[in-house]
Structure 1
Amino acid sequence: MSLTPEEKTCFVRDGVAVRRGLVPEDLIAPAASLIDGWVREQMDSSQISAYTQRTFAPELGQHPDLLALFSNSGAEELATELLGDIQPVTSTQIQIRLPEDALATSQPEKAMHVDGVACPHLDPEELRTFSLLVGVVLSDISDPDGGALRYLPGGHQTMARWFGTEWSLGVTEQVPPQIDTESGTPFLGKPGDVLLMHHLVPHSVGRNHTSTSRVMAYFRVSHPRHAQHRLEALRDPWLDYPPLAAVTATAPTAR
């Protein structure tokens, strides 16, 4: 299992690569069933905002059927190829965008942001950054108005410059003004598709105006040295990606 040269070039330029149909149905089905059962039987509707900020189904975060989406599908190999080496991934973040018509109050939107930096539920001085976000699609996401994640291609380069020149610990803005107004590119896909997204790519999530839930399983992947150079990794987008050194030297920048 390896990335194609085109996927590596796309990742360097856009900060994003997508591998369609990577996760087989025999891994998707039990994971999706677990989450569906939790939504029907255990979800506390009064906690929708808290789930949205952190994770849905927190009780399932370490369930083997969810961790297998990363470790048994080939996604782990792709992440390791990008980073060279990774810390063990021991938890799953589950994100669901529920249909607006099914909610008593609207599910909070997420403005453009970079995970773990100036998040509303964190102290501004606290960083919970990582290297790479791996997302596994668990429901059909064919409608951009269905609560799709929206990302800014090439935004990792812009964010690195901002972190290096204008930002400092304690700043509560999550992105610079020119990115805050961007609508982003919707990530659409089918169950089994996998998103590989650089941590510095800014992204947002809007409301779900369809009749079905959008379900994603996310894995936050870190290079083994990431915790020792969190601040430097915000300013140097390739510090955690030594295998991409040759590609980053020659790849074009995003438009």
Structure 2
Amino acid sequence: MALTVDDKHDFLRDGLIIKRDAVDPALVTRARALTDEWCREAMDEALIDQYTQRTFAPELGSHPDLLALFTRSGAAQLAVELCGDIQRVTTVQVQIRLPEHLLRTAQPVKPMHVDGVACPHLDPEELRTFSLLVGVVLSDVTDPKAGALRVQPGAHLEMSRWFRDQWTSGITDQVPPAIDAQDGTPLLGNPGDLLLMHHLVPHAVGSNTGTEPRVMAYFRISHIHHAERKIQALQNPWLDYPPLSALLSERTA
């Protein structure tokens, strides 16, 4: 599995690529079995807010069958094709949107945001940013109202301008008003679909009014120099993407 030139041009324009049926079904089946077992036997409904803000199944964060969704699926190579030298990936984030009818109290929605900036559960001064989000769909996501991730393709460029021209460290706004006012486009798909999304693409998640859990596995990918230039990477969307420099030059020539 590799990215085409068209894929890379799409990424420059939209800030995301979706590769359908990209992950081996055997890898998906093993990962989903783990998350299903955890939901049945270990999930504490009193901690739903905490799971939603951080991760479901925290005990499985470094389980090899979950990490394999990145390391053994071809996704790691795609991340290298976009970012070049990347830090080693050692953890997975499991995000589940549970059907409303199964919960005694509502699972909190996630408003439009970019990860790691002005998070409600963190000090506003703290940045937990990265370069690229890799997501693997682990459940059928065919209903936009069933907890689908909602993204704003192309808005990574507007976000970078906002971070460069208006944002200051410590403010509590996660995105500018014009971005916050948008609903976003639902990410629909099937188990094994792969999402590669620029960190600066704003996204949100609403309630699941369907009948089945929506399950995603996410991997946060950082260029090896990201930690030392976090603010610069917010202001320059391609700083952490050196392999795309030639294509970017062609587009701006």
TM category (shorter chain) comes to: over 0.9
Q: Give the secondary-structure state (helix, strand or coil) at the position aligned to 2:191.
A: coil
- 1:77 maps to 77
Deviates more, 1:195-204 or 1:241-250: 241-250
Q: How far apart are the structure 2 equivalents of 1:92 and 1:45? A: 21
Q: Does 1:136 align with 2:139?
A: no
Q: Give the secondary-structure state (helix, strand or coil) at the position aligned to 1:170.
A: coil
- 2:45 maps to 45
Question: Alignment identity in percent?
Answer: 62
Change (3 A) 1:251 1:97: farther
Q: Does 1:173 align with 2:173?
A: yes
1:151–1:202 Cα contact (<8 Å) kept: yes
Give the number of aligned pairs.
252
Displacement of 1:6 in angstroms is 1.4
- 1:201 maps to 201
1:154–1:201 Cα contact (<8 Å) kept: yes
- 2:150 maps to 150
Q: How far apart are the structure 2 equivalents of 1:166 and 1:7? A: 31
Q: Give the secondary-structure state (helix, strand or coil) at the position aligned to 1:69.
A: helix
Gaps of 5+ in 2: none
Q: How far apart are the structure 1 equivalents of 2:250 and 2:186? A: 27
Q: How far apart are the structure 2 equivalents of 1:183 and 1:209? A: 17
- The aligned runs of 1:175-194 (5 Å cut-off) are 175-194=175-194
- Aligned residue identity for 2:244: L
Displacement of 1:251 in angstroms is 4.0
- Aligned residue identity for 1:173: D
Q: How far apart are the structure 2 equivalents of 1:161 and 1:139? A: 35
TM-score, length of structure 1 as denominator length: 0.97
1:12–1:251 Cα contact (<8 Å) kept: no
Q: Give the secondary-structure state (helix, strand or coil) at the position aligned to 1:125.
A: coil
Gaps of 5+ in 1: none
1:21–1:191 Cα contact (<8 Å) kept: yes
Q: Give the secondary-structure state (helix, strand or coil) at the position aligned to 1:204.
A: strand
- 2:115 maps to 115
- Aligned residue identity for 1:224: I
Q: How far apart are the structure 1 equivalents of 2:162 and 2:183? A: 19
- 1:105 maps to 105
Q: Give the secondary-structure state (helix, strand or coil) at the position aligned to 2:70.
A: helix
Displacement of 1:250 in angstroms is 3.7
Q: How far apart are the structure 1 equivalents of 2:249 and 2:172? A: 33
Q: Give the secondary-structure state (helix, strand or coil) at the position aligned to 2:12.
A: helix
1:223–1:240 Cα contact (<8 Å) kept: yes
Cα RMSD over matched residues? 0.9
